[in-house]
Amino acid sequence: MKIFKFGGASVQHAQGVKNVAQIIQSHSHDNLLVVISAMGKTTNALEQVIHHCFHNTGEAHSALKTVFEFHDGILKDLFGEDDLVGVSDIRNLYLELECFVDNPNLQEDYDFLYDQIIGYGELMATKIVSNYLLSQKINNQWVDARNFIQTDSRHRDARVQWTETEKIITNRLLPIAKKNLVITQGFIGRGFSGETTTLGREGSDYSAAIFGSIMGAESITIWKDVAGVMNADPKKFDHAVLISELTYNDAIELAYYGASVIHPKTIQPLQANGIPLYVRSFLNPEAPGTKVSADSSVISVPCKIHKSQQLLLEIRTRDFTFIAEDHLKQIFQSLSENKVRCNLMQNSAIYFRCVIDNKENRHQPLMNALEALGLDVTLRSDLELLSIYHPQGSFDKQTDVGNHNIVLQQNMGNSTHYLITA
Ligand code: ASP
Ligand code: MG
């Protein structure tokens, strides 16, 4: 049993879907489970729909139309005008979305609403790919991932309920997957009340790892639009090189600091079960890419990871007393409750600083919560985080940071982090 995961960029147009079909065809696929993300930028487009829906702007339906037209274009290119195989499946999904957007009673909680709508991107993508494969005589079984990935009800950042998930995958999905090609979604799961949940943006890699680790897969392959894991983003830095092998620990560190090729939660279940992970290019499917495994050698080149849109929060007590353990406990609790992750943190006697992503305005409720606890919070924006991971090598501050001003610097043994002005 093998697991393949294809991201949104691999299926952003009909040609991409055909390419995915070819890659699947060229592997033995009666023992393969394929996880597919939403097509192209559909998840972002659905975020617009959710925004309009939640704020009742009256524009939700026109935002939905954009999503439908995009998918209709791909359907037309794949199946032609008259031969619309499986189109009724997609139309049914459109209809569900429309009904959902019409129903005002379900729109009280933003994160809940988000999860009910956003996963349609993956549902539509997988229906289209599955039907295209059938039209090419590649038999496959489409399954709804929500029936298998059981989570808690922490919307937009749901946590997997491993015992239940393991039971249902082993009893219900494994027997199907042993005999058939299975097409399913990443990113989505089912919460305590049967509602849709999601595992966090870009969470489909993690879904692939969940399926793979429970099913005892022999390997997982993430097909990307890059050659594999590089030591820097080739779009941002010259001289980026491919890392052909990585240990699980190195992969975890790189993903944690923001190397966007692998979702941070992906590695742990694979490491626990000793399952190798391949990161390969769907544009060049013959190339070997990167292998992440227990017997890989440790990285020998320094890696440079760049994160834009960073915020620095500086938290102090109002009376300038020490930031003590009880404050830290409250701060971490607020971070967790507001689903905000610290990319970097630092504390002194009188302040606690943390660097977070400027994402979905999540800092605002966090700041309100901290202020309600009697803490003073100042915010600095327009920052970037540069992390240099150099497990063995040295680093050169001048070449790394260039002319940017350093706002905060942290050295952590095998990595150095600079918070710099944009
Ligand atoms: N479609 C979701 C997203 O773009 C999940 C994923 O692609 O992994 O965040
Ligand atoms: Mg996606």
In 390-406, which positions are buried (b, 16+ CB within 10 angstroms) versus exposed (e)?
bbeeebeeeebbeeeee
CATH number, residue 52 = 3.40.1160.10
Cα angle: 348, vertex 353, 354; to 5 degrees: 145
What's the mean pLDDT in 116-121? Answer: 96
> What is the residue with the minimal CA distance to atom 3 of ligand 1?
202
Examine the fold and report which residue of 197, 224, 251 is the final residue of a domain before the chain moves on: 224
| CB neighbours of residue 261 within 10 Å | 19
- 107: confidence class by pLDDT, cuts 50, 70, 90: low
Q: What is the pLDDT of residue 359?
A: 85
Spatial contact of 6 and 223, defined as CB atoms under 8 Å apart: yes
What's the mean pLDDT in 399-422? Answer: 86
| CB neighbours of residue 320 within 10 Å | 10
Phi first, then psi: give them for residue 188, nearest 5 degrees: -105, 155
In a domain, 269, yes or no: no
Residues 204 and 330 in one domain: no
Distance (Å, rounded) from C-alpha 340 to C-alpha 331? 11
Name the residue type at position 116: Q
Q: Between the CA of residue 181 and those of 28, 56, 77, 88, what are the distances in Å?
A: 9, 42, 24, 22
210, containing H or E segment: helix 204-215
Residue 92's closest CA among 44, 128, 66, 41? 128
Cβ–ligand 1 distance for 7 under 6 Å, the answer yes
In a domain, 67, yes or no: yes
Examine the fold and report which residue of 176, 208, 224 is the final residue of a domain before the chain moves on: 224
In a domain, 137, yes or no: yes
| Helix, coil or strand: residue 166 | helix
Cβ–ligand 1 distance for 47 under 6 Å, the answer no
What's the mean pLDDT in 290-318? Answer: 91
Q: Which of 93-97, 212-216, 255-259, 308-312 has the lowest mean pLDDT?
A: 255-259
Q: What is the pLDDT of residue 86?
A: 67
Q: What is the pLDDT of residue 96?
A: 94
For residue range 136-180, list pLDDT tens digits in order.
999 999 999 999 999 999 999 999 999 999 999 999 999 999 999
Domain extent at residue 381:
303-421
Examine the fold and report which residue of 163, 191, 224 is the final residue of a domain before the chain moves on: 224
DSSP per-residue string spanning 273-336: HT--EEEEETTSTTS--EEE-TTSPPP-S-EEEEEEEEEEEEEEETT-----HHHHHHHHHHHH
Residue 361 CA to ligand 1 centre (angstroms): 19
| Helix, coil or strand: residue 160 | strand
For residue range 87-96, list pLDDT tens digits in order.
788 999 999 9
Distance (Å, rounded) from C-alpha 313 to C-alpha 344? 11
Residue 44 CA to ligand 2 centre (angstroms): 8
**Structural tokens at position 78:** 């794949």
Q: What is the pLDDT of residue 397?
A: 63
Q: Is 414 exposed, middle or buried (0-12, 13-18, 19+ CB in 10 A)?
A: middle
For residue range 234-265, list pLDDT tens digits in order.
887 778 899 999 999 999 988 887 777 788 89
Distance (Å, rounded) from C-alpha 71 to C-alpha 202? 20
CATH number, residue 416 = 3.30.2130.10
Tell me the percentage of the chain whose pLDDT exceeds 70: 95
Q: Considering the entire predicted model, what is its pTM?
A: 0.90
> Both ends of the chain: CA-CA distance in Å?
46
Distance (Å, rounded) from C-alpha 244 to C-alpha 228? 8
Question: Which of 149, 202, 206 best tests ligand 1's pocket when mutated (most atoms within 8 Å of CB)?
Answer: 202
Q: How many domains does the chain have?
A: 2
- 403: confidence class by pLDDT, cuts 50, 70, 90: confident
